Structure 1
Amino acid sequence: MSTLEIRNVRKEFGSERVLKDVSISINSGDFLILVGPSGCGKSTLMNAIAGLEPVTSGHILIDGEDVTFNTPAERDIAMVFQSYALYPSMTVRQNISFGLEMRKVPKAEREASVERVADLLQITHLLERKPAQLSGGQRQRVAMGRALAREPKVYLFDEPLSNLDAKLRVDMRTEIKKLHQRLGTTIVYVTHDQVEAMTLADCIAVMRDGNILQLGSPDEVYNNPVDMFVAGFMGSPSMNFIRAMLEKEHDRYQLRIATPGETDLLLPWPENRVTADMAERLNQPVILGLRPEHFSEEDVRLTAQAEGTLLNANISVVEPTGADILLRLPLGEQEVTARVGPKCPVVAGTRLALRIDMEQAILFDAVSEQRIA
């Protein structure tokens, strides 16, 4: 497989700049996922890598070779589309071998490649059928087989699972993961589904308005987001954002959360996570970021140890999901989501003591929305 480097790529459609000096570099065999909301530029970037869309400026290199002005055929890439793009009049066998035939690959070699990928994707029994006789998941396997038969330098997947139902999407996600682990292929994958991104990727590029906001491993973008957009986009349910005031008392930093009609909630900030510029932000508004799993059902025996991190709240909504329970509850002037165990004895309208794990909390600037600590 091959390395891929994108250097300061810019794409403009008239006066609209869709890609803004995007730079990404991935190693051979990496699984890169471009993720972001609709209109963020991820599909445009994918098309630029494939050579389907010329760039306004910048460079694209595959294995160190500048392919910016090469045709798609000259780049030696294979693409799997959202719409499958299968030829309806051809059998599965013919669809998979068509690209090889166009490249003048000898017949015996073509047949061997078809058998290889059919066995790999478990579609050998479908080789003589036509696309109309296949389910959505089977069609997607055929589209993947057509790409795999070629053994190109880079594979490109453009939202390949978005047309599938929820269960099939999960199943196909697992198959793609297994395929990558088995073949060690270099893959660039576009999706708007952050769960797909977290489960499949070695490296995630979070995009917004044509910019790369953060590039890193799934763990990095989830646990160390650079700003509120990344923090809110990655994770399901998304991160809770709570307005607070940064204060200091007895040489300890704390967050004051205004609670209408009740005593303000004071949350101590961990001493080991105090940053150099926090003193400049004293008595200024900040945004506290807490993921749903940063709340846990409080054990009364630990109340003394949890001083300052205990929240006693009225539960407004209870949402059992099977594996856990999602709770909606007020925190300050806003409502937040907490995730607790499936056996938590809670009923909507009752109060529950929850412990907040401040060691995992994140602070953001209230104006710029950039991460502070």
Structure 2
Amino acid sequence: MSALEINKVRKTFGNTEVLKEVSLAIESGEFLILVGPSGCGKSTLMNAIAGLEPVTAGEIRIAGRDVTWCTPAERDIAMVFQSYALYPSMTVRQNIAFGLEMRKMPRGEREAAVERVADLLQISHLLERKPSQLSGGQRQRVAMGRALAREPQIYLFDEPLSNLDAKLRVDMRTEIKKLHQRLGTTIVYVTHDQVEAMTLADRIAVMRDGEILQLGTPEAIYNDPVNRFVAEFMGSPSMNLIDATLEGDAAQGYRLRIVTPGEDDLCLPWPRPTEALASRVGQRVLLGLRPEHFAEHDARIDEMAQGAPFTARVSVAEPTGADILLRLPLGEGEVTARVGPRCPVLPGERLALRIDLGRAVLFDGQSEHRLA
């Protein structure tokens, strides 16, 4: 039995349809992340799961029980908000215990629960402080502790790290992942940060305009995007999308012709023919390449090297320490290539590279859906 089932949930505000028959099932112990740009409907879906927003149509089940019209208190969920929502006049101990007290939990059990989560989150030394005496990261730990003390069936996290600075956000991300691995809890987590989604999730649901475009593991979302939006949204730097013309046929093999102003045409063999390509010959397609699909070309191992070679004039080189990001012309615009930190190149110089077409993806030029 799934921990959470969402069946054809719709939500409208006046004439605006914010959720369009969203359906998904989350297994017990799974960490699911809802990701997408602002206004895509992810927070509305989270509020519908929590019971904070009534749905227009559809059904929500928690552990097999229909909770579509239940109040938040009747759903056995705990929520961690973007704002910490701590009571400023209460100590950390009182903040964590407050929800348990409202549920009439005996004092001894409350105190044991507070001590348990404080130890788990390493905030035992902060129990007698008030929120004003805490850092942002400490406040977020307290907000998480208040949710963990309840031991509900599902935890809901609504952009809990967005108010933290960059380093603290990375640290807290690690803590949340450790916490999930240790407790095996069921978590639904909303974020607009695709790096956060990639690092935390068991599965990711990419949303746009009230719909789930793709649901899958981080690896599937990153390596096998179903359309242009998912390809560009997931990944940092994002996937390069290059205009090309499809040539050839199934018998002789397909090729991608890329026209770059001021350069010779580049003709790349496409290694994975599909039935969908036959009707696209002579048409515009989009070649999707991640920055790591480029590699420096070494003539010494030419016979063993994988990928299609080409040369380009580097316009910008951005060392990041672990690697170098290069900007270079390919097609109508520029692409980003990720190379090793010792790559001997300066802006304005030509560099020989290879493209790993075995990991590339191809999209239809009109619909922008995946072709191969």
Paired residues, what number?
A: 371
Query: What is aligned with 1:344?
Result: 343
Shift of 1:261: 2.6
The Cα offsets for residues 30-67 of structure 1, whole Å up to 9 and x where unpaired, read as 00000000000000000000000000000000001000
**Secondary structure at 1:101 match in 2:** helix
The Cα offsets for residues 214-268 of structure 1, whole Å up to 9 and x where unpaired, read as 0011011111100000000000000000000000178021100012232200111
Give the AA of the match of 2:316.
V
Shift of 1:281: 1.1
Shift of 1:304: 4.7
The Cα offsets for residues 279-331 of structure 1, whole Å up to 9 and x where unpaired, read as 11111110000000000111112335559811211000011111111000000
**Secondary structure at 1:281 match in 2:** coil
Give the AA of the match of 1:108.
G
TM value normalised by structure 1 = 0.98
Shift of 1:349: 1.1
Give the AA of the match of 1:60.
I
Query: What is aligned with 1:137?
Result: 137
Matched-pair contact (CA < 8 Å) for 1:2–1:153: no
C-alpha separation between the residues in 2 aligned to 1:151 and 1:305?
56
**Secondary structure at 1:163 match in 2:** coil
Matched-pair contact (CA < 8 Å) for 2:307–2:356: no
Q: Unaligned regions of 5+ residues in structure 1, if any? A: none
Give the AA of the match of 1:177.
K
C-alpha separation between the residues in 2 aligned to 1:343 and 1:128?
52
Query: What is aligned with 2:125?
Result: 125
C-alpha separation between the residues in 1 aligned to 2:196 and 2:114?
28
**Secondary structure at 1:48 match in 2:** helix
Matched-pair contact (CA < 8 Å) for 2:8–2:58: yes
Give the AA of the match of 2:362.
L
The Cα offsets for residues 177-210 of structure 1, whole Å up to 9 and x where unpaired, read as 0000000000000000000000000010000000
**Secondary structure at 1:322 match in 2:** coil
1:194-273, aligned counterparts within 5 Å? Answer: 194-248=194-248, 251-270=252-271, 273=272
Query: What is aligned with 1:181?
Result: 181
Matched-pair contact (CA < 8 Å) for 1:303–1:310: no
C-alpha separation between the residues in 1 aligned to 2:306 and 2:337?
19
Give the AA of the match of 1:266.
C
Matched-pair contact (CA < 8 Å) for 2:323–2:340: yes
What's the C-alpha RMSD, in Å, of the aligned pairs? Answer: 1.3
Query: What is aligned with 2:63?
Result: 63
TM value normalised by structure 2 = 0.98
Closer, same or farther: CA 61–176 of 1 in aligned 2, 3 Å = same
**Secondary structure at 2:78 match in 1:** strand
Matched-pair contact (CA < 8 Å) for 1:5–1:26: yes
Matched-pair contact (CA < 8 Å) for 1:202–1:218: yes
C-alpha separation between the residues in 1 aligned to 2:331 and 2:225?
23
Query: What is aligned with 1:332?
Result: 331
C-alpha separation between the residues in 2 aligned to 1:330 and 1:307?
22
Give the AA of the match of 1:220.
A
Matched-pair contact (CA < 8 Å) for 1:41–1:207: yes
Query: What is aligned with 1:35?
Result: 35
Q: Does 1:82 align with 2:82?
A: yes
Query: What is aligned with 2:365?
Result: 366
Matched-pair contact (CA < 8 Å) for 1:268–1:308: no
Query: What is aligned with 2:114?
Result: 114
Matched-pair contact (CA < 8 Å) for 1:44–1:53: yes
C-alpha separation between the residues in 1 aligned to 2:116 and 2:364?
54
Query: What is aligned with 1:276?
Result: 275
C-alpha separation between the residues in 1 aligned to 2:341 and 2:232?
24
Give the AA of the match of 2:257.
R
Query: What is aligned with 1:10?
Result: 10
C-alpha separation between the residues in 2 aligned to 1:258 and 1:311?
13
Q: Unaligned regions of 5+ residues in structure 2, if any? A: none
Shift of 1:345: 1.3
C-alpha separation between the residues in 1 aligned to 2:307 and 2:153?
55
Question: Identity over aligned residues, as a percent?
Answer: 77
Matched-pair contact (CA < 8 Å) for 2:307–2:354: no
**Secondary structure at 1:241 match in 2:** strand
Shift of 1:277: 2.2
C-alpha separation between the residues in 1 aligned to 2:156 and 2:11?
19
**Secondary structure at 2:79 match in 1:** strand
